[in-house]
Each structure stands twice: as structure tokens, then as C-alpha cells.
Structure 1
Amino acid sequence: MDPPIDGGGPVTSALFMDPRVEDRAPQLLADTPPPISGGTLHVLRSARIAVVADPDRDRILVVDLTARQILGQTEHLPPGAEPSRITEDAEGRVHVVLRGTGEIYSFDPERVDEGTRRQVCAMPRGLAYDGVNDQLHVACRGGELVTLPPEGGAAIRTVQLDQDLRDVVVHGDRLFVSRFRTAELLEVDAAGALAGTPLRPWASSAFGGGLVEPGFMDRPAPGVDGEARFEPAVAWRTISAPAQSAPDGAAEPDDIAMVHQRASGQEVQPVPGGYGGGGGCESSIVHSSVTFFDPETGNVTQGPDLARATLPVDIAMSPRFSDGAEYIAVIAAGNESGESVFLYQRTSLEFTAPGQCMFPEARTESVVNATSAAWTDDGTLVVLSRDAIDGSGAELALISPRDGRTQRIPLGGVESYDTGHAVFHANSGGHIACASCHPEGQEDGRVWTFGSIGPRRTPAMHGDLRGTEPFHWDGDMNDLNHLTHEVFTGRMQGPALRTQQVDALGHWLDELPRPVNAIPTDVAAVERGRELFYGAAQCGTCHSGALLTNNATVDVGTGGAFQVPSLVGVQYRTPVMHSGCAVTLTGRFDVTCGGGDRHGRTSDLSETQIADMVAYMRTL
């Protein structure tokens, strides 16, 4: 088969925002669409049949790509099910993660609406089929790795790993799981324990193409001065790069490919343009990249910075073309109005140094609001658009590598456009989006060093944001209008937002679901911790009410007066404190980091009492 054409015209606008933000009155949906997560498209092995998970409309569709028609779709998934990752087992059954209900939906693709739902964990994320052992593996945000029989029934095994698990990748008889915010790749052995040292993308210097050894972010490789260093962050999607046949017919081993961000490790200036401006790569404090992991050797091959690829939520690997080339598609969901599907030769990504700026071999500007991609066996790229700008619902784009033609398959469904959702995910024009640092409405787990301010931990934005004003750790932004003017319009170089648009953003953020905590194993410890929290330790004095904050700005002995943060979902936000000095919740009780008795009455707590407090905080 032939390689994709060399294509993609010049950029016609500095902004990539959905034009509906500007062209129509703000639209606030009562049932707000969930944050973009990618990875919601799968092409069956046996035919040109696509399975589409549509989290915006809580449905799953089966689509004939040749006849270009919908063969079936679910009618009975509950509201808020949020179907996501998809896998196929050896018997042809399809399994889909339901993020919102904590379940797996399994079905025969010929009878998609007759499937069964199984409870798995509080917040399932990744999913893969293990053909060697005929098992399904589900990775959960809470750190659970759940193994299920594909034919149905209860879990075979549940093991507890690190929190923030993302994707599952099966590599022969080996099992790997990624972590979302830290962009780590963990191997899990047959007993369910972590094996070896986690793999991680390299850090790089932005201008010299230099490397910094994974796991040693403060130790540049020889000849690198560390200036403008960018460190691995948010791993949006991790996949198995399918084994291919070499030209001589020899089998090639799989690699694992991760599309992720890299974030500046240098001082950031909180001034207009400080987060991003024009240009392609070096202008933003967040870059996009692809890393390849070779499980056989442990080698990590870091790709270059991907110019203009804002919010890289998905990646898909092509079959081998007739000239031997393999292509990788990256979906840049931040570029909502177009230029969101980028194609790269795999060899180009593997042999271009980190820190170098790379433009795609081809890009498709006619596909809008793209969120996921998959390849057919004959080399057609299938792209899911979550919401057509004309209001006609979702659609699939079939992009031909031979002539660049794009065919479309309307998927219908109610329009899911929501102004707040659009603003949050949009490339502001500076090649950065709100979701770049607040992925899925959460936070990137990073401590940024701001010039004239100091270190500040990225705050979470999920659920009930309004009502906790003033904003930022210093409480220096009175309301959301103030924040968007200072940050989105100023530091991110975005357009000025009208008050109604800001209100729409606030509405969408307020509707984000709170993290769901697993049922505690030691109920007695939780109860003892609750009594301490509201009693002797006096934490409830400031962390009060439904949002566990009194919104005050208080000096608790940690270096100045800071906002009392909400503790809702705090167990998922480590490191904690404004400077991120507490790597764990237990570390918050260290007097140097936590402020001592100016920050609650904690100096007299025993180790057992602190453990009880932490057990309670994990339920908030």
C-alpha cells in the first residue's frame, strides 16, 4: 500500500478554538459533556467494523466502515456511564470501560445493545485483553488492577498498585500499566507485584536536543547544561505498537508507544504570554511528544516536540505500507476547529532528537473536534469527531492515505456542544489549553516555580469550583472573570472572554464529578481519624462545610498567607501543600512542611493517630 500523501496547508489562524465560542450565544448544557480522554475508538480484527464509544451521549455504536452505516448502538446505558477504552477478546467479544459507573460493558458486536455490565472498581480507566492467559485487565485511578474472565463473572484477582493508573498494555506474557500524571510505565509480574524499575520518558533541553536521564531529572546527560529543561508529564494514551513483518519476512517484536506532554522545569513568568505565545514548539511551557519503550531491552526512545499538537489525547499506529513505512497518527484535541489529526513517520519520531521541533508529514484540517483514532488493516485512518460544528452530532472520518480524500460517516446524536467545555479544551492560541495543566479537570501533579512568587502546586478544578473564591493559592484572584482575564487571556495569550462565556466555563467546571473513593478497609481507623479531624486536631475549623474549606486566606506557618484548599478528593492530589512539599498525606504532618501547631493542633499526634487521620482523609 502507498504512504500517506504529503499534505496540510498553511495555518490560516493563530486560534484553533471552536468558532461557536465566538459565533453564537454561550450554550450551557444541563447534562454537561465529560472531559476529553481519548482512546474511544477500536477497529475489529476480522472486518472493517468500528466500535465507537461516545462518552458525550452515553452510547456505544458499531459501524460498518465499508457500507458507511451504523449497524447498531446501545439504548440502555445509564446517564453518566461515560464509555471509554475498548478491547476485543479472542472470541470476538468487545469490552468497554464505563468510567462513570465503575463498570465494564461486554457484548457481541452483532448485538451491541444486549451486553452485560460488571462492576469493577470506583474509577476504571485502562483496559486490555491478555490472549496468553485469556483474561481482561482493568486499570483504575484508585490504583486497583482488576483481572476478569472475558466470558463474564466475578473478578479473578484485584491487586493494589500506585494510584492514578491509566492504560494497560499486554506484551506477550508481560503486563504493563501506565500512570497518568507522572507518565510512568509500570510492569506487573505474574503475582501482581511491581517488577523492576518504572520506565519513563526522558527529559530534554528545549533548544539543544539534549537528554536527561529518566528518573534523575536533576542530572543532565553529559554536555547538557539543563537550560529550558522539559520534564515528562501527563501520559494521555499508551498503546502497543503492533508487531510487523520485516521486508525479509522476519517477525519484529512489539514496542509500547506513549503520547504524552512535557512540561517546563524552569522558572515560569506570571506575565502576559508567560505560558505560551506564537510559534510551534518552544513558545509554550507544555510540549507534546511520543516515547517508545522496548520491553525486551528496556530502551527508551524519546521523540521530538510535536509542533502545534495541543492536547495530544490519542495515538494510533498504522500497518506497514508498501514502501516499508509505518505511520503514527496523533490527535491534538486542543485544535478544535481543525488541524487536529497529525501524521508522522515512525522513523521520523524515533530519530529526531528530543527538544527539536517537528512538524507532521501530513495533517487534516477538515476534521474538527477530533478525539480518537484507529487504523484499519488496509491502512485507512479512522477518526472520531465528538461533535460536528454544524450541530449534526458525532461523526467518523475515513482518511485515505493514497489520495488524501476524506469520507464521512454521520453518527448523529444530540449536539454536545457546551461553551465551557469548548473553552476549557481549546488551544488558546499559545499552543496550550486549560486542560494541558488540568487534564480531565484534575491537575498535572506538578509544582511550578513562578518568578517573583515561588513554587506553586497545580490546583485541581473538579466540581464546585465557584463558591471557593478567591482563587489561586495566594487568594489574589477575586473570581473566575479575574482568573480567566489574567491567565487564559494574559498568560496563555487567548482571546478575551465575555462574562457569559466565563459563566459557561464556571458552569461546566462546577458539574465535573468529584473523585469516587473506594470503600475503606479499616472502618474503625477512619472513624478514629474523623473524630481527631473535627476534634483534637481542629482541622475542621478551616476545612469545613460541603467543600471542606472556609475560603479564608490564612498564614499557617508555611511561608505566608494562603488559601484554605478544599480537601475533596485530596488523596488523589499528592504532592500536597502550596509548594508540594508533602509527597504523601502523611508528609503533611511534618512540622517543616505542614507548619506545626499553627496548622491545626497536630504536634502531639502519635504515628498511629496520624495514620488514622490519613485513613479518614482518604475518604474525603
Structure 2
Amino acid sequence: MRAAAPTAVALVLLACTPGARDAAPTPPTPPTPPAAAIAAPPSPPPCARRGAGSAPAPLDPTHAGSGIALAGLGGRTLAFVADEDDAALHTVDLDTRSAIARTPLAGRPAQVIVLGDGRVVASLRDRGLLEVLEPVDAGAALARRCLVPVASEPVGLAMTPDRATLLVASRWGHALTSFATDDLRRLGELPLARDPSTVVASADGQRAFVSHAVGGRISVVALGEGGAPTGARELSTDGVEWRPRPIMSKKFMSIALPPEPSRPPASSAPTPGASARRAAFDPFGGAPVVEHRPASRVARRGSQGFALARAPGGAVFAPIALVDPGPETRGSGGYGGARAQTVIEHIAVVDAAGERADVPPVSSSLGTLGCQLPRAAAIEPGEEVLLVTCLGRDEVIAYDARAQIPGQPPRVGSVRDRELFRARVGAGPTAIAVDSARRRAVVFSRFDGELTILPAARDPGPTEHRAPGKELAGELPVVVLPRASHLDELRAEGQRLFHAAGDRRTAFDGRACASCHPDGRDDALTWSTPEGPRQTPMLMGRLDGTAPYGWEGDKKDLEGHFARTMSRLGGSGLRPGERDALFAYLRGMQPPGEAAALAAEEHAVTAAPPPAARGAASDAAARADLIARGDALFHSSKAGCSSCHLGDELTTDGARHDVRSATRFDAARAFETPSLRFVGRSAPYYHDGRYPTLLALVEGVGDTMGRTAHLSADDRRALVTYLESL
């Protein structure tokens, strides 16, 4: 038995050798499972990247969105341009200076950003959507991946430094929403003050800075784990101007204020006194005085907060306009104090920790040359140069950012003192991006539909600084975008006129229509007028069907109201054809829409919503119930609102009513019934802006306007919720 063991082992080994395979029995073939039993590979999320090839690499080190997003691909620099008037995204090769592709979008894009993996996201402000696209070929249109719903009118875009979180500022929906960049799932949403516009993330990713188009504030939003917004606090951008107070000799004692804007008849010759008045008072030139006493302190309100730019050190720059709306305790000859420059340019700076906004004392010595409508900003990282696009003036201004860093002693003076140069660009500059590697900046001029390429601020290349105007001389490269659609000629002219800052046809001090009515809305300010303090009304959607016009309701048609406005602004005036173009542009303005019926759209995100979104759906249902309850109250005799606001939120009774709201500063006691359309987005309220919120108004008027004093707290909340939905 012992001798047989080695033989058995040898036989086993022999059977395992290749030569013994033929002798081994063939194992049976397992049966093929049915096709349905084979597990399919998991499909990628609808918003995820799908391409396997090389992808564009974002070039902005601060990861901020803009109307232009730069990316590098295969040694080339591409610009993705959000063209709102064309409802498209243009791809431009900056090295060859050629437009290589046009991608139609599902709506009108406000900003665009390139994610870390090369996907491109555009905010569609008119649809309440984000559109996610992917470049598949550098010479072709982008592939559309998905549509993602977000709060109404998404505008500003930004990524956190780790590129894991996308931040979206929604202006009409007054919210900041965060998404995971890998699959665009919603992480969280936080309500903000009205009109949030642009957002940038801090260098450490712990907070976001949000500018507000109106209201004079910047929100500092804390970002929790995963990038979800958890809370916000507001910093004011209001400023102070130290204005010399002139002492006139007896000869010029009557010209402490500028002349009334009304003009003498053409046949009457100016008197010597009138000539002396005009020669002595020039708000844009020298001082008309023989001596001065100590300067007076004038409070100015921050406005036009459309732009933000973060420096490498973390400080955030906010080009704004500072406005003097005049004293609320007395009337004036026009709109505002009318003593000096009503709207001046300035740059507020928020420190890296978001603790304070530095707005040092300013002066109005710049006159009509200032950047009254700043719309976009960018930093040249290595040079600490701030570039700002100026709508209406069609310029880009380069400032020395080092002169504005927080912690330095404040300087009384104009930002003109810190200018490096100005460059003329196409009409309507609304976006700018910096290509640091190639030492250039790219500007998108929306009205003309073209890109302008600028050299680095401190290295102008073949161009030169031309003293004393500091204008950049020489021809600048321009790329014209191949648009498939655009505004008609009449509305396009009206668009330019509406934003014509520095043009004295509209106002003696260069104010534009957009200075008080950004995007056809309101500036949230109360102005001094001949009748008393008056809050700026919204124009969009309120021109037709709301006659008579004005808070006093004393102008039966729009033409008469416009003529009075132009007279009070003291401008040289517009021709009838120009006025008609302006009206056509305003009438063509459409309010932002919601992401309704999204599931029926191609490329829509159909995956199950995360728990946070399901909670939001529950909140939306509760809000719908409140709106229905408030609607019933509004149209009931219990509240009496519909006795003056007839039929719906747009139609009014066209009458004036004394609701005991006049003060001793008001020339009239009765006021015209205003339209309530979009009333929830036009705070403050009343003719003099005395109520900061709708709830404060409903609680404050008692039974002087309708009958709300007896309503319960729940009824009032329902009524306000209904008004906010209009």
C-alpha cells in the first residue's frame, strides 16, 4: 500500500499537465442566461460628463462666472460667451480671433461658467433654469446634457475653490442655491434680500459674497459642509461725501442752487442775470465760489451693485454707484438734491473674512465722466489691477486695486485718482474675463454683439497711455459674433438710449434711465421731488393699462409723464423718434419665468429629487394654499382691496384717493392707485417708501387703505403671500 502512493500522485500530476488535457473529460457548458437577466451597466447621471477625451480646463483662478468663461483646450484659449439677446452660447478661439461655433440654448443666458471637468453651465435668466452642456468637438456646437430648475431668474454663477460646489444667485427669486458639480443635485437654498446679482466664493470656500443690484448691500453667506448655504448677513455699501459749501458774494447769492430745468421761450433773449447764473454755476467744471467754509457731510446710498471681483489675497471689490437722492424732508426742483453730481462712481471693498465693507469718503469731482453703470469686473491677479465695464459709456476702466485694499488709510477723493487707463469698446459692455497667461482681457459688448481683446493693464503692448485722458490708444482686436437673432432696430435704439450714461440728453448730470430703473425695474430709493419724497416705481410690465401716470395721477398719457420727467432731470431732451424707441424697448421687457413643465422638455432632469427638494415641494404646496387664501381675502369685502385694484393685479380704478398718507412734506393729499403687478419685488412701499416690507404696509395702514386692521395674523400673512405672487 505504501508503494502505491507515489504512483497515484504521479498520475494526478500527469493529468494536470497540458499534454493530458485531451484525456481529461470536457466540463459541461453552462446555459446562457436570458437577455433580461444580464445586468446593464449603470447609466451616468443625466448632468454628468460623458465624453472620454480631453476637456476644456477653466482659466479663472477665482472660479467666478461671467458673461464670458475662458478655458484652455489643446494649447488654445477658448471663450464661451453668453449672448442674452441671441439666446445662444458662442465659442470663440481667442488665439485665431475667430468665432467657431454657436450653440442655441433653451433660454436667454446671463452668465456662463466652466466646471472642473470641462462641462459648461449657463444660467437662463428668463426660464428659471440652468443648462448644462459639454464640448465634444472644439469646432462644433456644444452638446446639451440637461436642464436643472432653480429659483426664478438665475443670474450669478460661481464655484467653490475645490470645484465641488456650484453657487447660483437668483435675482427675481431672491435666493442663493448650491449644487454638487458632479451631477448637479441640489444641496441647499437660502433666501436673500431682493435682487441678488453676482456671486463669488471666498478663497477658503467657507463663505460666498453676493452683490445686490439695488438696496446698497452685499450679502456674506456662510457655506456649511458640502457647500450648502446656512446663513447670511448684510454689509452696507452706503458712503459719505464731503462736499464744499460755497459762500457766494452778493452778486451771485441767487445761484447757490442750479437753475430750474424749465427753459425760457425761444424768442426771449437771456438777461444778463441769467447769463451770469449760467457762467457762475457749472456742476462739471470749476467751483463758482469766491470763498469756502467747512465741507458739509452728504450721505449717499449704494446702488448698481451688479459686479464683484475677488483679488488673490481674498479681498472682494464691488464697483458701485453712490447716489444722493436728496433730502426726504423737503422738496426739490428735480429728482434728487440737484446741488451737485447726483450719481457718482465708487468701489467698495469687503475684507477677506467678510467682516466689513470699506467705503471711504468720496468726492464728486468726476462729473459726467464717472462709471455710473458698472456691470462687470475682473482682477488681473499678478498686477492687482481692477477692470470694470461701464455700461452707457462703452468703456472699460482699469484701476490700481492696491489703492483700495482694506486697512489702508481712507482717502478723500475720486476713484479717478487711481485710474490707470480707459479703453473704448463696443456698445453695451456687460462682461469681462482675464486671461492671465496671455496677459489680456476679453470684453463682451452685448448691444453690438462683439468681443474686444485688451492688453494687460501694466503692459499695454503696441498701444500707449495717452495723457491726460488716460485713454488706451490704437486699434483693439474685435471679434464679431455670428448672431442668428437680435433686437429689432427700434428696440435696439431704445436699449442704447435707456442706458446712455453721461449723455446730457436725459439729465443735466449724465444720469441714464437705467440709473433709477435698472433693467426697467426700480432702484429701491426714495427721491426728493417738487411734490415731496417719492419712491421709484417699476416700469417693466406697468406701462400699458395703468394710466393716469405719476403718484399724483396728473398725467393722462405716457408721453406727458415722460416729458415732465425729462424736464425735471434738466436734460437737453430726446427727439420724438428717440422717445418712441425708448417706449418700444420698455414695452418689450418681459418678466422672468419659472421652470414650469420641465419634465416635458428635452434634456430635462428626471431623476428623483433629493430629500431637500422633496421638502421644498411640500413648502411649495403650503405656499399655494396661502396664495389661494390671500386671493380670496383680496377680492372679498372683508379686506376691501379690490374696490380700488379692480379685476386683477394690473388694472386699477384710475382714481386718486386720500388714504391719510400725506405728510407735511407732500404737496398733494391724494394719490393715484398704483398697479400691484410685481409688487412683491419692488420694496420699499408707499409713495414715500416708508414701509420696508409688504407685511409692514398691511399692518401699518390699518383701515385707511382697505380694511386690514381687523384681520388676524394668519390672514395678513396669507394676503401678503398673495401680493408677493402677483
- The Cα of 1:618 is off from its aligned counterpart by 1.6
- What SS does the aligned partner of 2:511 have? coil
Q: Is the helix fraction higher in 1 or 2?
A: 2
The aligned counterpart of 1:411 is: 481
Q: Does 1:41 align with 2:49?
A: no
Which of 443, 448, 454 pairs up with 1:383? 443
What root-mean-square deviation, in Å, do the aligned CA atoms of Structure 1 and Structure 2 show?
Answer: 2.9
Which of 518, 539, 563 pairs up with 2:641? 539
Q: Does 1:504 align with 2:581?
A: yes
**Superposed, which structure 2 residues align to 1:211-290 within 5 Å?**
227-241=297-311, 243=312, 253-267=313-327, 270-271=332-333, 283-290=340-347
- The Cα of 1:114 is off from its aligned counterpart by 1.0
Letter in 1 for 2:321: Q
- The Cα of 1:434 is off from its aligned counterpart by 0.7
Percent identity at matched positions? 26
Q: Does 1:561 align with 2:670?
A: yes
- What SS does the aligned partner of 2:496 have? helix
Aligned residues of 1:315 and 1:330 also touching (Cα < 8 A): yes
- The Cα of 1:89 is off from its aligned counterpart by 1.9
Which of 146, 150, 154 pairs up with 1:124? 154
Aligned residues of 1:83 and 1:96 also touching (Cα < 8 A): yes
Q: Does 1:54 align with 2:163?
A: no
Aligned residues of 1:474 and 1:563 also touching (Cα < 8 A): yes
Query: In 2 relative to 1, CA 366–261 (structure 1 residues): closer, same or farther, beyond 3 Å?
Result: closer
Report the count of equivalent residues.
535
Q: Does 1:458 align with 2:536?
A: yes
The aligned counterpart of 2:450 is: 395
User: Following the alignment from structure 2 to structure 1, what is the Cα–Cα distance between the partners of residues 683 and 335?
Assistant: 28
Which of 597, 607, 616 pairs up with 2:713? 607
User: Following the alignment from structure 1 to structure 2, what is the Cα–Cα distance between the partners of residues 187 and 380?
Assistant: 30
**Superposed, which structure 2 residues align to 1:195-594 within 5 Å?**
195=231, 197-207=233-243, 227-241=297-311, 243=312, 253-267=313-327, 270-271=332-333, 283-296=340-353, 298-302=355-359, 307-320=369-382, 325-335=383-393, 338=394, 340-350=395-405, 353=411, 356=414, 358=416, 360-365=419-424, 367-377=426-436, 378-388=438-448, 394-400=449-455, 401-404=460-463, 405=474, 406-413=476-483, 414=485, 416=487, 417=489, 418-427=492-501, 428-429=503-504, 430-450=509-529, 452-488=530-566, 490-514=567-591, 516=593, 521-535=622-636, 536-546=638-648, 547-559=650-662, 560-591=669-700, 594=701
- What SS does the aligned partner of 1:205 have? strand
The aligned counterpart of 2:205 is: 173
Aligned residues of 1:319 and 1:379 also touching (Cα < 8 A): no
User: Following the alignment from structure 1 to structure 2, what is the Cα–Cα distance between the partners of residues 358 and 56?
Assistant: 32
- The Cα of 1:206 is off from its aligned counterpart by 4.5
Aligned residues of 2:70 and 2:79 also touching (Cα < 8 A): yes
Structure 1 or 2, whichever has the larger Rg, is 2
Query: In 2 relative to 1, CA 526–501 (structure 1 residues): closer, same or farther, beyond 3 Å?
Result: same
Aligned residues of 2:325 and 2:335 also touching (Cα < 8 A): no
Q: Does 1:619 align with 2:689?
A: no
- The Cα of 1:112 is off from its aligned counterpart by 4.4
Query: In 2 relative to 1, CA 435–333 (structure 1 residues): closer, same or farther, beyond 3 Å?
Result: same
- The Cα of 1:462 is off from its aligned counterpart by 0.9
Letter in 1 for 2:659: V
Aligned residues of 1:206 and 1:356 also touching (Cα < 8 A): no
- The Cα of 1:397 is off from its aligned counterpart by 1.0
Aligned residues of 2:190 and 2:231 also touching (Cα < 8 A): no
Give deviations 1:569-590, integer Å, cap 9, x for gaps. Answer: 1111121111112111111123
Query: In 2 relative to 1, CA 364–465 (structure 1 residues): closer, same or farther, beyond 3 Å?
Result: same
- What SS does the aligned partner of 1:589 have? helix
- What SS does the aligned partner of 2:716 have? helix
Letter in 2 for 1:439: P
User: Following the alignment from structure 1 to structure 2, what is the Cα–Cα distance between the partners of residues 113 and 130?
Assistant: 24
User: Following the alignment from structure 1 to structure 2, what is the Cα–Cα distance between the partners of residues 160 and 183?
Assistant: 17
Q: Structure 1 regions of 5+ residues with no counterpart?
A: 1-37, 210-223, 244-252, 277-281, 389-393
Higher RCO (Cα < 8 Å, 6 or more apart): 1
- The Cα of 1:103 is off from its aligned counterpart by 1.0
**Superposed, which structure 2 residues align to 1:186-201 within 5 Å?**
186-191=219-224, 192=228, 195=231, 197-201=233-237
- The Cα of 1:309 is off from its aligned counterpart by 1.3
Q: Structure 2 regions of 5+ residues with no counterpart?
A: 1-64, 246-293, 464-473, 596-619, 663-668
- What SS does the aligned partner of 1:266 have? coil
User: Following the alignment from structure 1 to structure 2, what is the Cα–Cα distance between the partners of residues 483 and 265?
Assistant: 20
Which of 99, 112, 123 pairs up with 2:125? 99
Query: In 2 relative to 1, CA 470–355 (structure 1 residues): closer, same or farther, beyond 3 Å?
Result: farther
Aligned residues of 2:217 and 2:236 also touching (Cα < 8 A): yes
Please, what TM-score do these two structures have when normalized by structure 1? 0.79
Aligned residues of 2:123 and 2:155 also touching (Cα < 8 A): yes
User: Following the alignment from structure 1 to structure 2, what is the Cα–Cα distance between the partners of residues 462 and 555?
Assistant: 26
- What SS does the aligned partner of 2:725 have? coil
User: Following the alignment from structure 1 to structure 2, what is the Cα–Cα distance between the partners of residues 297 and 589?
Assistant: 35
- What SS does the aligned partner of 2:580 have? helix
Give deviations 1:176-235, integer Å, cap 9, x for gaps. Answer: 2233312322232244565574223241114379xxxxxxxxxxxxxx976332122231
User: Following the alignment from structure 2 to structure 1, what is the Cα–Cα distance between the partners of residues 237 and 512?
Assistant: 22
- The Cα of 1:533 is off from its aligned counterpart by 0.6
Letter in 2 for 1:65: L
Letter in 2 for 1:527: A
Query: In 2 relative to 1, CA 542–94 (structure 1 residues): closer, same or farther, beyond 3 Å?
Result: same
- What SS does the aligned partner of 1:159 have? strand
**Superposed, which structure 2 residues align to 1:70-89 within 5 Å?**
70-75=99-104, 77-78=105-106, 81-89=107-115
Give deviations 1:324-362, integer Å, cap 9, x for gaps. Answer: x43222111112xx5x22122213445773553626331
Aligned residues of 1:207 and 1:355 also touching (Cα < 8 A): no
Letter in 2 for 1:522: R
The aligned counterpart of 2:217 is: 184
Aligned residues of 2:684 and 2:690 also touching (Cα < 8 A): yes
Letter in 2 for 1:293: V
Give deviations 1:219-274, integer Å, cap 9, x for gaps. Answer: xxxxx976332122231112322x1xxxxxxxxx2211112121115338653696
User: Following the alignment from structure 2 to structure 1, what is the Cα–Cα distance between the partners of residues 72 and 399?
Assistant: 24
The aligned counterpart of 1:164 is: 195
User: Following the alignment from structure 1 to structure 2, what is the Cα–Cα distance between the partners of residues 367 and 422?
Assistant: 11
Give deviations 1:482-529, integer Å, cap 9, x for gaps. Answer: 2332223x3334342233332332222122123557956332222221
Query: In 2 relative to 1, CA 235–403 (structure 1 residues): closer, same or farther, beyond 3 Å?
Result: same
The aligned counterpart of 2:268 is: none
Query: In 2 relative to 1, CA 598–184 (structure 1 residues): closer, same or farther, beyond 3 Å?
Result: closer
- The Cα of 1:68 is off from its aligned counterpart by 0.6
Aligned residues of 2:159 and 2:165 also touching (Cα < 8 A): yes
Letter in 2 for 1:121: A
